[in-house]
Amino acid sequence: STGKTRNASAFSWGKRLQIAIEAAQGLEYLHKGCKPPLIHRDVKTANILLSEQLEAKIADFGLSKAIQNDVTNVPTAVVGTPGYLDPDYYISGQLSEKSDVYGFGVILLELITAEPPILIGRQNAHIVQRVRERLANGNIEDVVDSKLQGEYDVNSVWKVADIAFRCTAQASHQRPTMTEVVAELKESLALECPRDTMGNSNIYAETNEASQNTAIEMERFVEFSPSAR
């Protein structure tokens, strides 16, 4: 993140959900709409770009792999980015679309917390473990990005956290499909929509300042601290 434009962590919760839905639909298309199906293999915030209209697009298909004859769980060389890499895939070498689902679950936790996937020097370094630990007392406010200043529907955030945890289940067969993820994210947005439409906030029209560039990396949702670099 260069820090030259407005940090995207200032986006409303509703706008973050809209971005998540569009990114999820992109992955769903790769898995279900492409013939043969494609597995991205490097799902991370830096590979989700925003247009001037703040529409999310999946980018960088350099590591993507086509699955012939709809056969999944195929042995392949393990590639990906630390923090987003599916542990099941890393251990077994068996690739499936659920590896993309895992990476997307990590992104959802980033959208909630505005924290990077891995914090060096922390006992629970990975975001999945960190968020689980902080949610043990049942208080979602303990993990939500402070820049949201409480402006979000609690049930909507809890639902997204639940989706994220299911996406990042250790065993790949326990994870939902991207089609299921899209449907549940839309339900989460429906819970939040009344809040966004009551005031001046609009999930489809954020400030002009936020859309100065034609492509803004989703990576800017995360303010990397020195310990995270």
Q: How far apart are CA 37 and CA 27, in angstroms?
A: 10
Nearest-angstrom CA–CA distance, 127 and 23: 20
Q: Which of 42, 100, 153, 196 is catalytic?
A: 42
How far, in whole angstroms, is CA 7 from its chain's centroid?
16
- Listed residue (126, 31, 124) closest to 84, CA to CA: 126
Tell which residue, 151, 119, 110, 155, has the closest CA to residue 20.
110
Chain-centroid distance, C-alpha 69? 28
Residue carrying structure tokens 């043990």 = 136
Cα 223–228–229 angle (5° rounding)?
95
- Integer Cα distance of 64 and 79 in angstroms: 10
Outline where the chain has alpha helix (H).
13-28, 87-92, 98-113, 127-134, 154-167, 178-198
Active-site annotation holds for 153:
no
- Residues annotated as catalytic are 42
